[in-house]
Amino acid sequence: KSTFYGMYYDQQPVYHDPPSNQWFGFQAWSMERVAEYYQQTGNAQAKAVLDKWVKWALSKTTINPDGTYQIPSTLQWSGQPDTWNASSPGANSGLHVTVADYTNDVGVAAAYAKTLSYYAAKS
């Protein structure tokens, strides 16, 4: 199994039924914090993470002319990330995600919108 500073990768790190990593809301909430940090500090590492995540998230988002929208809801992961090497980080080409279904949950959408706003404000 892949490791990060000696800790083994767990595809369901908090709970298993349903898997804790499958809800897009957890990503929106966490990335909101990363984007706020980036907006305040201009941290290049935060920007690098956000550049990739925002591009992916926007590609999975639909906003219609009538104001309705769809954002990811359930994520399905396969494979594993690369074992972490701080001096030469891998691309995690063996780890894949697909969107199983979509939602218009206003709470998740709010966190997602705030993430995009903080990111855009600094970028």
Please give the Cα distance from 54 to 88 (Å, whole number): 23
Question: What's the domain count of the chain?
Answer: 1
In the numeric block, the tokens 């929106």 are attached to: 28
> Which residues span the domain enclosing 58?
19-79+96-122
Q: Is residue 28 part of a domain?
A: yes
Q: CB neighbours (10 Å) of residue 92?
A: 13
> pTM of the full predicted structure?
0.88
Task: Report the C-alpha gap between 81 and 102 in whole angstroms.
Answer: 25
* Mean residue pLDDT across the chain: 94
* Residue 85 resides in a domain: no
Residue 51 forms part of a structural domain: yes
Please indicate whether residue 51 is annotated as part of the active site.
Answer: no
User: With contact defined as beta carbons under 8 Å apart, do 85 and 7 qualify?
Assistant: no
Residue 1, domain member (yes or no) = no
Distance in angstroms (rounded) separating the CA atoms of residues 55 and 49: 10
Catalytic hit among 17, 66, 82, 105: 66
Percentage of the residues of the chain whose pLDDT score is greater than 70 = 100
Q: Per the domain annotation, does 7 fall within a domain?
A: no
Q: For residue 21, what pLDDT is reported?
A: 85
For the purposes of burial, counting CB atoms within 10 Å of the CB of 80, is it exposed (0-12), middle (13-18) or buried (19 or more)? middle
